[in-house]
Chain A
Amino acid sequence: MITYPDSHGRTISELCLLAGKIILQSGGETQRVEDTMTRIAAANGFPKSQCYVTPTGLFFDLGGANPVTRYVRISERSTDLSKVTLVNEVSRKISLGELNAEDALARLQHIERARVVYPAWLQIASAAVASGCFLIMFKGGWSDFVPAMLAGGIGFALLLLLHRLVQIRFFAEFLSATIIGALAIAFVHTGFGHELDRIIIGSVMPLVPGLLITNAVRDLMAGHLVSGLSKGADALLTASAIGAGIAVMLSAWS
Protein backbone atom coordinates (compact mmCIF):
# COMPACT_ATOMS: atom_id res chain seq x y z
CA MET A 1 0.00 0.00 0.00
CA ILE A 2 1.28 3.44 -0.85
CA THR A 3 0.87 6.10 1.77
CA TYR A 4 1.12 9.78 0.93
CA PRO A 5 2.22 12.49 3.32
CA ASP A 6 -0.50 14.65 4.85
CA SER A 7 -1.24 18.09 3.45
CA HIS A 8 1.34 19.70 5.78
CA GLY A 9 4.01 17.39 4.41
CA ARG A 10 2.95 18.18 0.86
CA THR A 11 3.17 21.92 1.47
CA ILE A 12 6.62 21.60 3.03
CA SER A 13 8.02 19.47 0.23
CA GLU A 14 6.49 21.90 -2.30
CA LEU A 15 8.16 24.78 -0.42
CA CYS A 16 11.56 23.10 -0.28
CA LEU A 17 11.48 22.11 -3.94
CA LEU A 18 10.50 25.58 -5.08
CA ALA A 19 13.25 27.22 -3.00
CA GLY A 20 15.82 24.77 -4.36
CA LYS A 21 14.60 25.18 -7.91
CA ILE A 22 14.84 28.99 -7.87
CA ILE A 23 18.36 28.97 -6.41
CA LEU A 24 19.56 26.33 -8.86
CA GLN A 25 18.02 28.08 -11.88
CA SER A 26 19.43 31.46 -10.89
CA GLY A 27 23.04 30.36 -10.53
CA GLY A 28 23.48 29.48 -6.83
CA GLU A 29 26.00 26.89 -5.67
CA THR A 30 24.91 23.28 -5.13
CA GLN A 31 25.83 23.49 -1.45
CA ARG A 32 23.47 26.44 -1.00
CA VAL A 33 20.59 24.56 -2.69
CA GLU A 34 21.01 21.55 -0.42
CA ASP A 35 21.49 23.64 2.73
CA THR A 36 18.40 25.73 2.01
CA MET A 37 16.16 22.73 1.36
CA THR A 38 17.23 20.71 4.40
CA ARG A 39 17.09 23.81 6.63
CA ILE A 40 13.55 24.72 5.56
CA ALA A 41 12.44 21.11 6.07
CA ALA A 42 14.09 20.94 9.51
CA ALA A 43 12.46 24.20 10.61
CA ASN A 44 9.08 22.71 9.74
CA GLY A 45 9.48 19.46 11.62
CA PHE A 46 11.24 17.19 9.13
CA PRO A 47 14.81 16.91 10.43
CA LYS A 48 15.74 13.87 8.34
CA SER A 49 15.14 15.11 4.82
CA GLN A 50 17.52 14.10 2.05
CA CYS A 51 18.30 15.65 -1.29
CA TYR A 52 20.46 15.12 -4.31
CA VAL A 53 21.19 18.09 -6.56
CA THR A 54 22.73 18.24 -10.02
CA PRO A 55 22.75 21.23 -12.40
CA THR A 56 19.95 19.67 -14.49
CA GLY A 57 17.60 18.40 -11.82
CA LEU A 58 17.07 17.80 -8.12
CA PHE A 59 15.63 15.03 -5.94
CA PHE A 60 14.13 15.76 -2.56
CA ASP A 61 12.89 13.38 0.11
CA LEU A 62 11.16 14.60 3.25
CA GLY A 63 12.02 11.57 5.35
CA GLY A 64 9.95 10.76 8.44
CA ALA A 65 7.05 8.30 8.66
CA ASN A 66 5.71 8.61 5.10
CA PRO A 67 8.68 9.38 2.91
CA VAL A 68 7.85 10.42 -0.63
CA THR A 69 10.62 11.40 -3.01
CA ARG A 70 9.95 14.15 -5.49
CA TYR A 71 11.93 15.34 -8.47
CA VAL A 72 12.21 18.63 -10.34
CA ARG A 73 13.80 18.96 -13.75
CA ILE A 74 15.84 22.11 -14.40
CA SER A 75 15.91 22.86 -18.10
CA GLU A 76 16.62 26.60 -18.16
CA ARG A 77 19.40 28.23 -16.23
CA SER A 78 20.19 31.91 -16.01
CA THR A 79 22.23 34.23 -13.84
CA ASP A 80 20.10 36.18 -11.41
CA LEU A 81 21.90 36.57 -8.11
CA SER A 82 19.21 38.83 -6.67
CA LYS A 83 16.78 35.86 -6.74
CA VAL A 84 19.36 33.78 -4.88
CA THR A 85 19.60 36.57 -2.30
CA LEU A 86 15.80 36.86 -1.96
CA VAL A 87 15.32 33.10 -1.46
CA ASN A 88 18.17 33.20 1.06
CA GLU A 89 16.28 35.86 3.04
CA VAL A 90 13.04 33.82 2.98
CA SER A 91 14.89 30.72 4.14
CA ARG A 92 16.53 32.63 6.99
CA LYS A 93 13.14 33.94 8.13
CA ILE A 94 11.69 30.41 8.05
CA SER A 95 14.58 29.12 10.17
CA LEU A 96 14.05 31.91 12.69
CA GLY A 97 10.34 31.04 12.82
CA GLU A 98 9.27 34.46 11.52
CA LEU A 99 7.47 33.08 8.46
CA ASN A 100 5.00 30.17 8.27
CA ALA A 101 4.98 27.68 5.41
CA GLU A 102 1.97 29.08 3.51
CA ASP A 103 3.26 32.66 3.50
CA ALA A 104 6.73 31.48 2.53
CA LEU A 105 5.32 29.49 -0.38
CA ALA A 106 3.38 32.53 -1.62
CA ARG A 107 6.50 34.67 -1.31
CA LEU A 108 8.64 32.16 -3.22
CA GLN A 109 6.04 31.92 -6.00
CA HIS A 110 6.17 35.70 -6.23
CA ILE A 111 10.00 35.60 -6.45
CA GLU A 112 9.86 32.91 -9.14
CA ARG A 113 7.53 34.97 -11.32
CA ALA A 114 9.40 38.24 -10.78
CA ARG A 115 11.37 39.65 -13.67
CA VAL A 116 15.06 40.49 -13.54
CA VAL A 117 16.02 43.57 -11.54
CA TYR A 118 17.85 45.46 -14.26
CA PRO A 119 16.52 46.22 -17.75
CA ALA A 120 18.44 44.93 -20.76
CA TRP A 121 19.71 48.38 -21.82
CA LEU A 122 21.31 48.92 -18.39
CA GLN A 123 23.04 45.53 -18.58
CA ILE A 124 24.30 46.31 -22.08
CA ALA A 125 25.54 49.71 -20.91
CA SER A 126 27.39 48.18 -17.97
CA ALA A 127 28.90 45.52 -20.23
CA ALA A 128 30.16 48.36 -22.44
CA VAL A 129 31.63 50.26 -19.46
CA ALA A 130 33.19 47.04 -18.11
CA SER A 131 34.83 46.38 -21.50
CA GLY A 132 36.39 49.84 -21.52
CA CYS A 133 37.60 49.45 -17.93
CA PHE A 134 39.12 46.04 -18.63
CA LEU A 135 41.02 47.56 -21.52
CA ILE A 136 42.64 50.03 -19.11
CA MET A 137 43.26 47.27 -16.55
CA PHE A 138 45.08 45.24 -19.21
CA LYS A 139 47.38 48.23 -19.81
CA GLY A 140 45.60 49.59 -22.88
CA GLY A 141 45.61 53.29 -23.76
CA TRP A 142 42.68 55.65 -23.13
CA SER A 143 42.43 56.24 -26.90
CA ASP A 144 41.09 52.70 -27.22
CA PHE A 145 38.52 53.14 -24.43
CA VAL A 146 35.60 54.06 -26.71
CA PRO A 147 36.30 51.39 -29.37
CA ALA A 148 36.42 48.70 -26.65
CA MET A 149 33.18 50.06 -25.15
CA LEU A 150 31.43 49.91 -28.51
CA ALA A 151 32.67 46.42 -29.40
CA GLY A 152 31.91 45.06 -25.93
CA GLY A 153 28.46 46.65 -25.73
CA ILE A 154 27.39 45.49 -29.19
CA GLY A 155 28.78 42.01 -28.53
CA PHE A 156 26.92 41.69 -25.24
CA ALA A 157 23.67 43.02 -26.75
CA LEU A 158 23.98 40.40 -29.47
CA LEU A 159 24.56 37.71 -26.82
CA LEU A 160 21.33 38.66 -25.02
CA LEU A 161 19.39 38.74 -28.29
CA LEU A 162 20.75 35.39 -29.51
CA HIS A 163 20.02 33.71 -26.16
CA ARG A 164 16.38 34.62 -26.72
CA LEU A 165 16.25 33.65 -30.40
CA VAL A 166 18.33 30.47 -30.62
CA GLN A 167 18.03 27.71 -28.06
CA ILE A 168 21.35 26.10 -28.98
CA ARG A 169 23.99 26.48 -26.29
CA PHE A 170 27.44 27.96 -27.09
CA PHE A 171 26.28 29.29 -30.46
CA ALA A 172 25.39 32.71 -29.03
CA GLU A 173 28.84 33.03 -27.44
CA PHE A 174 30.54 31.93 -30.64
CA LEU A 175 28.68 34.40 -32.86
CA SER A 176 29.02 37.32 -30.39
CA ALA A 177 32.76 36.72 -30.16
CA THR A 178 32.98 36.64 -33.97
CA ILE A 179 31.18 39.99 -34.21
CA ILE A 180 33.42 41.49 -31.50
CA GLY A 181 36.45 40.34 -33.47
CA ALA A 182 35.06 41.81 -36.69
CA LEU A 183 34.26 45.15 -35.01
CA ALA A 184 37.70 45.36 -33.41
CA ILE A 185 39.41 44.65 -36.74
CA ALA A 186 37.22 47.23 -38.47
CA PHE A 187 38.02 49.86 -35.78
CA VAL A 188 41.76 49.28 -36.07
CA HIS A 189 41.58 49.23 -39.86
CA THR A 190 39.82 52.59 -40.04
CA GLY A 191 42.21 54.12 -37.48
CA PHE A 192 39.48 54.52 -34.83
CA GLY A 193 41.16 51.94 -32.61
CA HIS A 194 44.86 51.22 -32.16
CA GLU A 195 45.79 48.03 -30.36
CA LEU A 196 43.74 45.15 -31.78
CA ASP A 197 44.69 42.57 -29.13
CA ARG A 198 43.80 44.72 -26.15
CA ILE A 199 40.50 45.89 -27.65
CA ILE A 200 39.46 42.28 -28.28
CA ILE A 201 40.50 41.06 -24.81
CA GLY A 202 38.69 43.93 -23.08
CA SER A 203 35.46 43.61 -25.02
CA VAL A 204 35.31 39.80 -24.76
CA MET A 205 35.41 39.93 -20.93
CA PRO A 206 31.61 40.37 -20.45
CA LEU A 207 31.11 37.04 -22.25
CA VAL A 208 33.48 35.16 -19.92
CA PRO A 209 31.55 32.55 -17.86
CA GLY A 210 32.73 33.90 -14.50
CA LEU A 211 29.86 32.52 -12.46
CA LEU A 212 30.33 29.01 -13.87
CA ILE A 213 34.07 29.06 -13.11
CA THR A 214 33.55 30.20 -9.51
CA ASN A 215 30.66 27.79 -8.96
CA ALA A 216 32.56 24.86 -10.42
CA VAL A 217 35.43 25.42 -7.97
CA ARG A 218 33.11 25.98 -5.02
CA ASP A 219 31.07 22.85 -5.84
CA LEU A 220 34.16 20.67 -6.19
CA MET A 221 35.48 22.07 -2.92
CA ALA A 222 32.27 21.13 -1.12
CA GLY A 223 32.46 17.59 -2.51
CA HIS A 224 29.71 17.95 -5.11
CA LEU A 225 31.77 16.21 -7.75
CA VAL A 226 29.05 15.67 -10.36
CA SER A 227 27.89 19.31 -10.29
CA GLY A 228 31.41 20.68 -10.11
CA LEU A 229 32.65 18.71 -13.08
CA SER A 230 29.62 19.45 -15.24
CA LYS A 231 29.80 23.18 -14.47
CA GLY A 232 33.51 23.09 -15.24
CA ALA A 233 32.79 21.43 -18.58
CA ASP A 234 30.12 24.04 -19.29
CA ALA A 235 32.58 26.85 -18.52
CA LEU A 236 35.30 25.25 -20.65
CA LEU A 237 32.98 24.83 -23.64
CA THR A 238 31.73 28.41 -23.32
CA ALA A 239 35.31 29.69 -23.18
CA SER A 240 36.20 27.54 -26.20
CA ALA A 241 33.23 28.92 -28.13
CA ILE A 242 34.44 32.48 -27.43
CA GLY A 243 37.97 31.53 -28.45
CA ALA A 244 36.77 29.86 -31.64
CA GLY A 245 34.71 32.92 -32.56
CA ILE A 246 37.73 35.20 -32.21
CA ALA A 247 39.97 32.68 -33.98
CA VAL A 248 37.67 32.62 -36.99
CA MET A 249 37.91 36.40 -37.37
CA LEU A 250 41.68 36.51 -36.78
CA SER A 251 42.43 33.83 -39.34
CA ALA A 252 40.08 35.43 -41.87
CA TRP A 253 41.86 38.76 -41.38
CA SER A 254 45.49 37.60 -41.48
Chain B
Amino acid sequence: MTTLFEQLATSFVASAAFGLIFNVPKRGLVQCGIVGMLGWALYVVLTQQAVNATISTLIAAGCVAVLSQIMAKLYRMPIIVFNVSGIIPLVPGGLAYNAMRSAVENEFDAALQSGMQAFMLSGAIAMGLVLSEVINQAIRRSRL
Protein backbone atom coordinates (compact mmCIF):
# COMPACT_ATOMS: atom_id res chain seq x y z
CA MET B 1 0.00 0.00 0.00
CA THR B 2 2.77 2.41 0.90
CA THR B 3 4.58 1.51 -2.31
CA LEU B 4 1.49 2.32 -4.39
CA PHE B 5 1.15 5.67 -2.60
CA GLU B 6 4.87 6.26 -3.19
CA GLN B 7 4.41 5.51 -6.89
CA LEU B 8 1.39 7.81 -7.14
CA ALA B 9 3.18 10.71 -5.45
CA THR B 10 6.42 10.41 -7.42
CA SER B 11 4.69 9.97 -10.78
CA PHE B 12 2.51 13.03 -10.09
CA VAL B 13 5.55 15.16 -9.23
CA ALA B 14 7.63 13.79 -12.13
CA SER B 15 4.90 14.44 -14.71
CA ALA B 16 4.25 17.97 -13.44
CA ALA B 17 8.00 18.64 -13.42
CA PHE B 18 8.17 17.47 -17.01
CA GLY B 19 5.35 19.85 -17.88
CA LEU B 20 7.48 22.61 -16.40
CA ILE B 21 10.50 21.57 -18.49
CA PHE B 22 8.31 21.78 -21.61
CA ASN B 23 7.08 25.25 -20.56
CA VAL B 24 3.46 24.23 -20.05
CA PRO B 25 1.40 27.24 -18.83
CA LYS B 26 1.02 27.42 -15.04
CA ARG B 27 -2.72 26.65 -15.11
CA GLY B 28 -1.99 23.31 -16.82
CA LEU B 29 0.76 21.89 -14.59
CA VAL B 30 -1.49 20.15 -12.04
CA GLN B 31 -3.53 18.54 -14.81
CA CYS B 32 -0.30 17.27 -16.43
CA GLY B 33 0.60 15.69 -13.10
CA ILE B 34 -2.82 14.04 -12.77
CA VAL B 35 -2.72 12.59 -16.30
CA GLY B 36 0.80 11.24 -15.75
CA MET B 37 -0.10 9.84 -12.32
CA LEU B 38 -3.21 7.98 -13.51
CA GLY B 39 -1.40 6.55 -16.55
CA TRP B 40 1.50 5.32 -14.43
CA ALA B 41 -0.81 3.96 -11.70
CA LEU B 42 -2.68 1.93 -14.30
CA TYR B 43 0.61 0.58 -15.65
CA VAL B 44 1.91 -0.36 -12.18
CA VAL B 45 -1.34 -2.06 -11.12
CA LEU B 46 -1.57 -4.00 -14.40
CA THR B 47 2.03 -5.24 -14.21
CA GLN B 48 1.47 -6.24 -10.57
CA GLN B 49 -1.45 -8.38 -11.76
CA ALA B 50 1.09 -10.16 -13.99
CA VAL B 51 -0.23 -8.61 -17.18
CA ASN B 52 2.33 -8.55 -20.01
CA ALA B 53 4.36 -5.31 -20.01
CA THR B 54 3.50 -4.57 -23.65
CA ILE B 55 -0.23 -4.90 -23.01
CA SER B 56 0.04 -2.81 -19.83
CA THR B 57 1.87 -0.06 -21.73
CA LEU B 58 -0.71 -0.18 -24.51
CA ILE B 59 -3.61 0.22 -22.08
CA ALA B 60 -1.84 2.90 -20.02
CA ALA B 61 -0.88 4.91 -23.12
CA GLY B 62 -4.46 4.70 -24.41
CA CYS B 63 -5.73 5.83 -21.02
CA VAL B 64 -3.26 8.76 -20.97
CA ALA B 65 -4.39 9.84 -24.43
CA VAL B 66 -8.10 9.66 -23.57
CA LEU B 67 -7.51 11.61 -20.34
CA SER B 68 -5.53 14.20 -22.30
CA GLN B 69 -8.42 14.64 -24.70
CA ILE B 70 -10.82 15.17 -21.79
CA MET B 71 -8.42 17.66 -20.15
CA ALA B 72 -7.89 19.48 -23.47
CA LYS B 73 -11.67 19.92 -23.87
CA LEU B 74 -12.21 20.94 -20.22
CA TYR B 75 -9.38 23.45 -19.98
CA ARG B 76 -9.29 24.57 -23.65
CA MET B 77 -5.63 23.85 -24.19
CA PRO B 78 -3.88 21.92 -26.97
CA ILE B 79 -3.97 18.17 -26.34
CA ILE B 80 -0.20 17.86 -26.77
CA VAL B 81 0.27 19.77 -23.48
CA PHE B 82 -1.19 16.88 -21.45
CA ASN B 83 -0.15 14.05 -23.75
CA VAL B 84 3.59 14.59 -23.48
CA SER B 85 4.00 14.57 -19.71
CA GLY B 86 1.68 11.57 -19.43
CA ILE B 87 3.55 9.49 -22.00
CA ILE B 88 7.06 10.15 -20.64
CA PRO B 89 6.87 7.76 -17.63
CA LEU B 90 5.86 4.95 -20.00
CA VAL B 91 8.90 5.40 -22.25
CA PRO B 92 10.99 2.23 -21.83
CA GLY B 93 14.13 4.05 -20.65
CA GLY B 94 15.23 1.19 -18.40
CA LEU B 95 15.06 -1.42 -21.14
CA ALA B 96 16.90 0.81 -23.61
CA TYR B 97 19.56 1.31 -20.96
CA ASN B 98 19.87 -2.43 -20.32
CA ALA B 99 20.17 -3.07 -24.06
CA MET B 100 22.97 -0.55 -24.31
CA ARG B 101 24.75 -1.76 -21.22
CA SER B 102 24.71 -5.35 -22.50
CA ALA B 103 26.02 -4.18 -25.87
CA VAL B 104 28.87 -2.36 -24.16
CA GLU B 105 29.70 -5.55 -22.27
CA ASN B 106 29.76 -7.53 -25.55
CA GLU B 107 26.67 -9.54 -24.53
CA PHE B 108 24.84 -9.08 -27.79
CA ASP B 109 22.18 -11.76 -27.15
CA ALA B 110 20.98 -9.94 -24.06
CA ALA B 111 21.30 -6.58 -25.82
CA LEU B 112 19.11 -7.75 -28.68
CA GLN B 113 16.49 -9.11 -26.27
CA SER B 114 16.20 -5.90 -24.25
CA GLY B 115 16.34 -3.86 -27.43
CA MET B 116 13.46 -5.79 -28.98
CA GLN B 117 11.45 -5.44 -25.79
CA ALA B 118 12.05 -1.68 -25.74
CA PHE B 119 11.00 -1.57 -29.39
CA MET B 120 7.78 -3.48 -28.63
CA LEU B 121 6.95 -1.11 -25.76
CA SER B 122 7.50 1.93 -27.99
CA GLY B 123 5.17 0.36 -30.53
CA ALA B 124 2.62 -0.22 -27.76
CA ILE B 125 2.76 3.48 -26.83
CA ALA B 126 2.16 4.43 -30.47
CA MET B 127 -0.75 1.97 -30.74
CA GLY B 128 -2.23 3.31 -27.49
CA LEU B 129 -2.24 6.82 -28.95
CA VAL B 130 -3.83 5.53 -32.16
CA LEU B 131 -6.55 3.60 -30.29
CA SER B 132 -7.49 6.63 -28.20
CA GLU B 133 -7.85 8.68 -31.38
CA VAL B 134 -10.17 5.98 -32.75
CA ILE B 135 -12.27 6.12 -29.56
CA ASN B 136 -12.35 9.91 -29.75
CA GLN B 137 -13.59 9.90 -33.34
CA ALA B 138 -16.15 7.21 -32.60
CA ILE B 139 -17.58 9.32 -29.76
CA ARG B 140 -17.64 12.41 -31.95
CA ARG B 141 -19.42 10.57 -34.78
CA SER B 142 -22.01 8.98 -32.53
CA ARG B 143 -23.10 12.37 -31.22
CA LEU B 144 -23.77 13.73 -34.70
Contacts and interface: CB of A to CB of B under 8 A. Distances in A.
Contacts of B133: 221
Assign chain A's interface to a size class.
Answer: 35 or more
B117 interface: no
Nearest to A243: B100
Contacts, number: 148
B57 interface: no
Contacts of A92: 76
A95 interface: no
Contacts of A243: 96-97, 100
Contacts of A215: 80
B66 interface: no
A205 B36 CA distance: 14
B11 to A, nearest CB: 6
Contact of B87 (A28, A86, A138, A210): A210
A201 B91 CA distance: 11
Interface centre among B7, B11, B93, B98 (most CB of A within 10 A): B93
B88 interface: yes
A21 to B, nearest CB: 16
A250 B107 CA distance: 14
Given A81-B24, A85-B28, A221-B130, A250 B101 contact: yes
Given A126-B20, A136-B7, A217-B125, 17 more contacts: A29-B80, A79-B21, A81-B19, A81-B78, A82-B24, A85-B77, A85-B78, A86-B25, A129-B14, A130-B21, A206-B21, A211-B80, A221-B133, A239-B96, A247-B103, A250-B100, A250-B104
A197 B7 contact: no
Interface stretch (A61-69, A116-124, A165-173): A116-124
Most buried by A among B22, B88, B103, B125: B22
A130 B26 CA distance: 17
A14 interface: no
A254 B104 contact: yes
A122 B26 CA distance: 13
Interface in A72-105: 79-86, 88-89, 92
Nearest to A247: B104
B129 A117 contact: no
Contacts of A70: none
A210 B86 CA distance: 10
B22 A127 contact: no
B15 to A, nearest CB: 8
Interface residues of B, number: 47
A205 B129 contact: no
A211 B22 contact: yes
B25 A85 contact: yes
A156 B17 CA distance: 13
27 contacts: A27-B22, A79-B21, A79-B22, A81-B22, A81-B78, A84-B81, A88-B78, A116-B23, A126-B16, A126-B18, A126-B21, A130-B18, A132-B10, A136-B10, A137-B14, A197-B98, A197-B101, A201-B93, A205-B88, A208-B91, A210-B85, A214-B84, A215-B80, A217-B126, A217-B130, A221-B133, A250-B104
A117 B14 contact: no
Interface string A209-235: 011011101100100000000000000
A29 B81 CA distance: 11
Contacts of A133: 10-11, 13-14, 17
Interface in B84-114: 84-85, 87-89, 91, 93-94, 96-98, 100-101, 103-105
Nearest to A129: B17
